[in-house]
Structure 1
């Protein structure tokens, strides 16, 4: 597996991951009816944003979209969103993407990284982020409507770089 910069030819596979997350509705607050155009705008951030993919040859196993959390006085803190293909979960793809995102953010001069909305029921992601040095700094109760668990909290997670 190689983690590298997104290339235009990766988009169909990245779009499949974004569309799947929107359709499933259990980890991202994306409209289930999201169009490819709106998905592209949501995932492919303009510079200084970056998108990386974890790939095995031409197969995209996962992706991270990252960039400044806010403009202006908040731009020294990075934000990142991760997607891993369902058939490769549990094989280290997410961890490789998190580590690559942290490395990239550090190299780009960010002082920290924040995840603004980690669904509390996404226990595998929460555990991974905690293992990689993130802490839950707050939880917004009942801020996410999960398709089977009902209203659940959204964690804000942070790590200094």
Structure 2
């Protein structure tokens, strides 16, 4: 199976990206986003304006299997640290899509001159994500105890993960 092509998001991708967002947010297991937001609200959350970018992972047949966004974690004196978010479609899971998106975003941020990358809210019991980010060189540098509430009212810690880029 050939690797997916990672390319910049285009407006024509929005229906597929929105479907991925809906599925991931509705699962209630990994994002602190409210469910049921309007197109405009989800676009504002997901489509990263320059100097950041939003990308998609596209299969050979044009199917969007995942998406990521990368940009500044903070403004002003904190703008040298990048932040990124990732979502993979159900049909893309287990195929290395998250890893490819992660590798792409880390390389892009390094080339863009960011000194580090920080993830602010990785759900601790999303073991696949935690393992992936650790395998890509991210360390857990902080924990927000019970910072995430699952749909079934269980609580999980939110992890802050960090990696130097330069």
| Fold-level similarity (TM above 0.5) | yes
Contact 1:21 1:27 in 2 (8 A): yes
CA distance in 2, matches of 1:64, 1:128: 15
Match 2:107 to one of 103, 109, 117: 103
The normalised TM-score by structure 1 is 0.97
1:32 aligns with 2:35: yes
CA displacement 1:4-36 (0-9 Å, x = unmatched)? 111111111011111222211110011112111
Question: What is the DSSP-based 3-state SS (H/G/I as helix, E as strand, rest coil) of the residue aligned with 1:106?
Answer: helix
Name structure 2 gaps, 5 residues minimum: none
Name structure 1 gaps, 5 residues minimum: none
Match 1:155 to one of 155, 159, 163: 159
After TM superposition, the runs of 4+ consecutive aligned structure 1 residues lying more than 3 A away are: none
The normalised TM-score by structure 2 is 0.94
Contact 1:64 1:97 in 2 (8 A): yes
CA distance in 2, matches of 1:18, 1:88: 13
Question: What is the DSSP-based 3-state SS (H/G/I as helix, E as strand, rest coil) of the residue aligned with 2:65?
Answer: strand
Contact 1:22 1:34 in 2 (8 A): no
Aligned length: 161
Match 2:67 to one of 63, 77, 81: 63
Task: Give the CA deviation at 1:149.
Answer: 6.4
**RMSD value, Cα:** 1.0
1:90 aligns with 2:101: no
